[in-house]
């Protein structure tokens, strides 16, 4: 899912890099054409003023339409029925968390955050800490599997 999101974001970024300058040049060409066509009937300063005023009116209309469409879409959109991916991930983590550790984290969120940060930095810089954490995790997961199998057998 993350790769698909990344690919979509990259595609949109490349398209935007091509489309935005093209839109700018098309609008500039349109304004120049409007100015040149008005110059035949009006004086040059007046035709520039009319062209600029027309541009301002177009910008104002686009702004008004954007605001109305945004309000309508937020009013009509029903609330999401499915839980957010973050909530599903948190639920999965809570199901697999050690109850004693989960209680300690709930009671001491600041200490838990600092401990997690320090362990992450240590694991990022030290191969020995990484191996020790992996070994602890493997032992814990084996013990947890045995505990769950024992509780299912009862």
Q: Is the pLDDT of residue 79 over 70?
A: no
Q: Is the pLDDT of residue 119 over 80?
A: yes
Domain ranges in the chain are 6-77, 85-153
Q: Mean pLDDT, to the nearest integer, of 58-74?
A: 79
pTM score > 0.75 for this model?
Answer: no
Is the Cβ–Cβ distance between 134 and 119 less than 8 Å?
no
Q: From residue 31, give the alpha-carbon distance in Å to each of 27, 44, 61, 136.
A: 6, 14, 17, 69
DSSP letter, residue 126: -
**Residue 60 pLDDT:** 87
- Of the candidates 116, 141, 115, 136, which has an alpha carbon nearest to the alpha carbon of residue 128? 136
Helix (H) or strand (E) holding 94: helix 85-96
Q: Is the pLDDT of residue 126 over 80?
A: yes
DSSP letter, residue 108: -
**Residue 24 pLDDT:** 87
Q: Is the pLDDT of residue 77 over 80?
A: no
**Residue 62 pLDDT:** 85
Higher-confidence residue: 71 or 27? 27
Q: Is the pLDDT of residue 55 over 80?
A: yes
For residue 83, what are its two tokens?
A: 């839980």
* Longest alpha-carbon distance in the chain: 95
Q: Is the pLDDT of residue 1 over 70?
A: no
Count the residues in the chain: 154
């Amino acid at each position: 899912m993350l790769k698909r999101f990344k690919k979509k974001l990259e595609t949109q970024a490349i398209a935007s890099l091509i489309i935005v300058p093209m839109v700018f040049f098309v609008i500039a060409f349109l304004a120049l054409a409007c100015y040149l066509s008005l110059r035949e009937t009006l004086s040059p300063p007046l035709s520039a003023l009319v062209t600029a005023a027309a541009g301002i009116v177009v910008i104002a209309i686009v702004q008004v339409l954007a605001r109305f469409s945004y309000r309508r879409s937020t009013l009509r959109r029903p609330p999401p029925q499915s839980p957010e991916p973050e909530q599903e991930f948190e639920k999965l983590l809570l199901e697999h968390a050690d109850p004693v550790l989960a209680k300690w984290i709930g009671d001491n969120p600041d200490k838990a955050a600092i401990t997690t940060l320090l362990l992450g930095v240590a694991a990022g810089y030290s191969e020995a800490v990484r191996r020790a954490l992996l070994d602890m995790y493997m032992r814990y997961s084996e013990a947890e599997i045995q505990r769950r199998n024992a509780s299912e057998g009862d």
